[in-house]
Amino acid sequence: MYVPGNNPGLLKDAHIYGADALMFDLEDSVSLQEKDTARFLVFNALLSIDYEGTETVVRVNSLETPYGRDDFEAIVRAKPDTIRLPKTEEAEEVKEADLLIGEIEGKAGIELGTIKLMAALESARGIVNAYDIATASPRLVALALGAEDFVADIKTSRSSEGCELLFARSQVLIAARAARLFALDTVFSDLKDQAAFAREVEYIKQLGFDGKSVLHPRQVETVHRIYTPTRTEIEQARRIITAMQEAEQKGAGVISLDQQMIDKPIVERAQRVLALAEATGMNKEDGGR
């Protein structure tokens, strides 16, 4: 969930809404005149507020702007889990950020490699270079799509169907999967239209995304609800894993369940369902909530 970096009222209790990660923004939501004050604010908030285990991400300004380097100098020392690079277009930008973070980690006595990176692709060039970007640094944990800038760059606008984003979404997803990174979808800006938001979350989940950026606390529950496996899915996943374990014990080469053959992709999908169930607190003996 995005949290504007220069709003003390939002910084202090952003974690109470249940988002999996908080993304403190020093970039587009902060005016040019307040770039410095937002940097101090996020720096001190990260050092002193207990976000109770919620993952922390900071979207810094690009190193091509006059603010980027100062953002890195401050934010690396405040040790968020991840730094998000905006408007990434080339693998070189990721490598440059990686080197700079390493340099600051060294100066500040932070173990090398502590701070992870997420690259946001928000332009046609970024999308074309997705796989090169995804493999540019061992710090990278995720690729994200930034749709608003992207649609402007390809000379269109966002529609409710999202056809204009299909290629970019697919490219981000495939590049992320090929590089073994998480894939995160863009925000949905119409906060009033919860039904359309839910449809979009269903759609990007089906495409294969691991999650979605949200702008408002009221969007968090919808994403969680759609990503939480149902009891039936969890039960079926448990049966598949049990069948696999039994087959392994017997030394059977072929696994079958309900007279259907269970192969590796089915087992992997079952493992993913159980991992999601674990993450959402559903994986309990009583079937969760």
- For the chain, what is the radius of gyration of the CA atoms? 21
CA distances 140 to 84, 116, 118, 217, 268, Å, are 10, 6, 6, 26, 23
Q: What letter represents residue 44's amino acid?
A: N
* Residue selected from 31, 37, 230, 242 as contacting other proteins according to rule CB under 8 A: 37
Site mask, other proteins, residues 73-112, x = CB under 8 A?
xx--x-----------------------------xx----
Q: Which helix (H) or strand (E) holds 69?
A: helix 68-78
* Residue selected from 12, 125, 218, 284 as contacting other proteins according to rule CB under 8 A: 12
Only one of the segments 45-53, 169-177, 188-196, 242-250 lies at the binding site for other proteins (rule: CB under 8 A); that segment is 45-53
8 contributes a contact to other proteins by CB under 8 A: yes
Total residues contacting other proteins (rule CB under 8 A)? 22
217 vs 287 by CB, closer to other proteins: 217
Kindly state the smallest distance separating residue 140's Cβ from other proteins, in Å: 24
Please give the Cα distance from 51 to 14 (Å, whole number): 8
Nearest by Cα to 45 from 85, 18, 5, 104: 5
Residues 6+ apart with CB under 8 A from 163: none
List, in sequence order, every residue forming a beta bridge with 142; answer none if it has no partner: 118, 182
* Residue selected from 1, 11, 60, 115 as contacting other proteins according to rule CB under 8 A: 11
Nearest by Cα to 91 from 51, 140, 141, 58: 140
Kindly state the smallest distance separating residue 51's Cβ from other proteins, in Å: 12
Kindly state the smallest distance separating residue 48's Cβ from other proteins, in Å: 4
6 vs 171 by CB, closer to other proteins: 6
Tally of CB atoms within 10 A around 164: 16
108 vs 163 by CB, closer to other proteins: 108
For other proteins, the binding residues (CB under 8 A) are 7-9, 11-12, 36-37, 40-41, 43-45, 47-49, 69-70, 73-74, 77, 107-108
